[in-house]
Amino acid sequence: MFRWINGAGAAFRHPLPGSTNYLNAYDLSGNLIRVTGGGSRPEQNQDAPASVPGEEETPTDSQEKNLATDVPIPRENMEDLIPFPLNRNFRSQPVLSEELREEIWERITLQGKSVRLVSAELGVEMSRVGAVVRLKAVEKQWAEQGKRLAMPYARAVLSMLPTTLISPSRPMPHESINDLPVHKDTVRQLFLPVSESRHFTRVDAGKAFSPTLLPADDRIPHPELVQLERDRNSDMTSQERIAKQRKKLLAEKQEREEREEARKAKEKRELTRVTPPQGRWEFRFRDVSVESVGKDGRDRRGVGARYGMPHEDRKRGQIKIPTRVE
C-alpha cells in the first residue's frame, strides 16, 4: 500500500486540473500515459468523444500544461475514461458543461427556438434538452428567491467528469440524437409468414405490429435530418436548401401552435366547471362513456387505460403458430 502511495498514488495528491484523473490514465510509476506515450494499449477509437471538444492545435481547458516540461497535455481518449481498471468495458460518459446548459436554456426561452431545433443544432437528445430547461428554470428561480446554491459542489463534480463544451467553430455532438425509440407495440412476439415474392418493407413491418404504427423512418426523433442529407446529396444549391429548411421550420411552428390551440379549445368544451356561490373551490366534470374502451377493451380513450393490459402472446394455451399466409 505504501509503495503505491509513494509511487503511482503520488500523482493523485494534486489532481490534474481540467481533466479526469482515473487510475487507467497513469502507469505504474505515476506518469500520465498520454503525455509520456508509454504503456501498451489496444487500438483506440479516434472518433470517440473527448472531454472537451477544443482545437487540437491550441491548448484548451482540457489541455493543461505540464509544469515540468511546459508541454500541452492532450485531451483524454477513450482509454483514459476507464475509472475501474478491472472493468475495461465501462467508460465514463461525458456530461453537459455549465456553458452548454446555459446556451440550451437561452436558445429555448430567450430565442424561442423549438426543442427539436436546439437538439439538432447542439447534438443533445430532446428529452435531455427539456430536462435542462426545466432544471435551469428552477435554478434561476431559486437564485431570485435568494436560496443558496451548491455551486462549489457542482464545479467539483464537473472537474472530475468528462464534459462537453460548446464550440461554435467546430460543434461536437454530445450523444446520438436519432436513435429509434422502442414502441410498446413492438415488444411482443409476432410471427408473420409472407410469400417469397412479396416486397416486404419497413412500412409493412410497422403495419404488422399495429395498423397505426409508423415506419422507422418516420418514428425517429429527427426525420428532418434524413431529408436534409438527401437534399445535400441532390442537385440543390445551399441557398435553396436553406430557404427550404426555413420554410419547413415556419410551417412546423404554425402547425404546432394551431394544434395546441385546438387541444385547449377541445379541453375547454369537454370540461364542465361548477363554482359554488360561496365556495372557494371549483368542481370540474368530464363526460365518460363505457363504450369508449372499444370492442377489445384496449382503447386508450377508455377509463383505466393508463393502467395497461398485458399481452397474451406468452400466455399458455394461446395459438402462436401462424395459420395463414398473407
Mean of the per-residue pLDDT values of the chain = 81
> What is the rounded radius of gyration, in angstroms, for the C-alpha atoms of the chain?
28
Q: pLDDT confidence of 105, banded at 50, 70, 90? A: very high
pLDDT of the residue at 218: 86
Cell numbers standing for residue 170: 467546430
**pLDDT above 50 for 65:** no
**pLDDT above 90 for 109:** yes
pLDDT of the residue at 66: 47
pLDDT in tens, 3-33: 888 877 888 887 777 788 888 888 877 788 8
Nearest 5°: the CA angle 154, 157, 158 is 85
pTM exceeds 0.75, yes or no:
no
pLDDT of the residue at 306: 56
**pLDDT above 60 for 47:** no
Range with the lowest mean pLDDT among 64-68, 90-94, 295-299? 64-68
Query: Quick count: other Cβ atoms within 10 Å of Cβ 163?
Result: 23
**pLDDT above 70 for 79:** yes
**pLDDT above 90 for 80:** no
CA distance 171 to 156: 25
pLDDT over 70, % of the chain: 84
With beta carbons less than 8 A apart as the criterion, state whether 185 and 209 touch.
yes
With beta carbons less than 8 A apart as the criterion, state whether 54 and 76 touch.
no
CA distance 16 to 25: 11
pLDDT of the residue at 118: 92
pLDDT in tens, 303-312: 665 565 666 6
Query: Quick count: other Cβ atoms within 10 Å of Cβ 225?
Result: 13
